Amino acid sequence: MATLALSAAVKTALSELPRDRSLLTSVWRRLEDAADDPERWTEFPAPFPHSPKTRLFAFDAYDSSGRRWAFSALFVTIPDDLEAIQLAYNDAADEYPEPE
């Protein structure tokens, strides 16, 4: 089980999210899940155009009003840790069709 570390860029992205307890709790738990079991939750190596040294984790989270948010996080493995180096999100995830 790795420890979750956050880069400055990820800390900034998290600070820009709305102060919605449901959303923030869900995002944090999902990031911890990825750190606890990266083989299960992340794609390694991350697909092009990402560096082959990174792991990709894509997930959804919901805020307290039920709005679906889509997230993707890139991780790198450092000794005994999994560091989130990039976090991107889209609060209009419901506008995208489900994959066929």
Q: pLDDT of 53-73, one tens digit each? A: 889 999 999 999 988 899 999
What is the chain's length? 100
Average pLDDT over residues 3-18: 91
Give CA separation, 22 vs 14, 61, 69, 81, in Å: 14, 9, 12, 26
What residue ranges define each of the domains in the chain, with the CATH number in brackets? 3-93 (3.30.2310)
Give CA separation, 83 vs 20, 57, 91, in Å: 24, 12, 24
The SS3 assignment for 65 reads coil
Whether the pLDDT of residue 5 is over 60: the answer is: yes
The SS3 assignment for 93 reads helix
Average pLDDT over residues 28-40: 92
On the 0-12 / 13-18 / 19+ scale of CB atoms within 10 A, 40 is: exposed
Contact 7, 86 (CB under 8 A): yes
- Lowest-pLDDT range, 9-13, 60-64, 91-95? 91-95
pLDDT of residue 49: 77
Average pLDDT over residues 19-32: 94
Contact 67, 94 (CB under 8 A): yes
Whether the pLDDT of residue 100 is over 70: the answer is: no
